[in-house]
Amino acid sequence: MPKLKPTQEQAPGTNARSARAPIDLEALLEGDPKAFEQLVHQESTRLYRVIYRIVNDHHEAESVLQETFLQAYKRFHTFRRESKVTTWLYAIGINLARASLRKSRRYDTLSDEDIERLQPGFSRGMHTGDYEAWNPHKMAERSERKRLVHEAIRKLPPDYRLVVTLRDIEELSTAEVAHILNISDGAVRVRLHRARQALRSLLDRHFRS
């Protein structure tokens, strides 16, 4: 049985001892407590942020994170080595977070039809909309700008918010996101593009001159 010890001398996310140090995969898969603890130290903060952006509730995000690590520990023997172990871990966390969201019915987001309406229009291959540079004065107030962007991201439907979170905010590669979501690289880019265009459109009403 592993002896997991809480490490209180460092703040979450700093991970001074284990930050980016390679994890001994063989030891991890055999249930070595030190390797498992290293994984927990290394991935908790980022995985928490991803989960939070799905469930949108701090208490629930913490609960899902804990369950994710527990599930991973119990299922290491099912890890097929077809991806990085962290990619596999994220897939577990995201599935649990989606299940939690479905259960809680905390839906306060745009619909797929809304996303479609926020895409640019074309006629005979040409843009139908008129676009002007955004007003720099309206974009200058940093805290207000950040609030607007955060609110726009929060409004995205869960699947769109997830791909933006993984690819644009957490900066995972397209291939990693595709593996986590079990879709093709092309499908990741299509969803990401539609999400970015929807965000652009949502922000446009605040930043236009």
Partner 1 sequence: MLHLLEKIREIFRPSPSCQEVNRFLAEYIEGVLPPETQARFKMHLDQCSKCKPYFEQYLMTLEMVKEDEEVNPPEELLEHTIEFLRAHINHGERRDDA
Contact between 192 and partner 1 by CB under 8 A: the answer reads yes
173 sits in the region (left: phi over 0; alpha: psi -120 to 50; else beta) called beta
Report the nearest approach of partner 1 to the CB of residue 134 (Å).
6
Binder of partner 1 out of 34, 106, 138, 145 (CB under 8 A): 145
Burial class of 88 by CB neighbour count within 10 A (0 to 12, 13 to 18, 19+): buried
Q: Which range of residues in 18-26, 89-97, 106-114, 144-152 is near partner 1 by CB under 8 A? A: 144-152
Please give the distance of CA 56 from its chain centroid, rounded to a whole number: 12
d(CA 26, CA 32): 9
Query: Whole-number minimum distance, CB 165 to partner 1, in Å?
Result: 9
Nearest approach in angstroms of CB 103 to partner 1 is 20
44 binds partner 1 (CB under 8 A): yes
Q: In the bound complex, what is the minimum distance in angstroms from residue 62's beta carbon to partner 1?
A: 6
Contact call for residue 117 and partner 1 (CB under 8 A): no
Contact 169, 119 (CB under 8 A): no
Tell me how far apart the 2 most distant CA atoms of the chain are, in Å: 66
Please say which residue, 41 or 179, places its beta carbon nearer to partner 1. Answer: 41
CA atoms within 13 A on the CB side of 22: 4
Degrees (nearest 5) of the Cα angle 75, 178, 121? 145
Where do contacts with partner 1 occur on this chain (CB under 8 A)?
1-8, 10-13, 31, 36-37, 40-41, 44-45, 48-49, 52-53, 58, 62, 65-66, 69-70, 73-78, 120, 122, 124-127, 129-134, 139, 145-146, 149-150, 153, 164, 168-169, 171, 174, 189-190, 192-193, 196-197, 199-200, 203-204
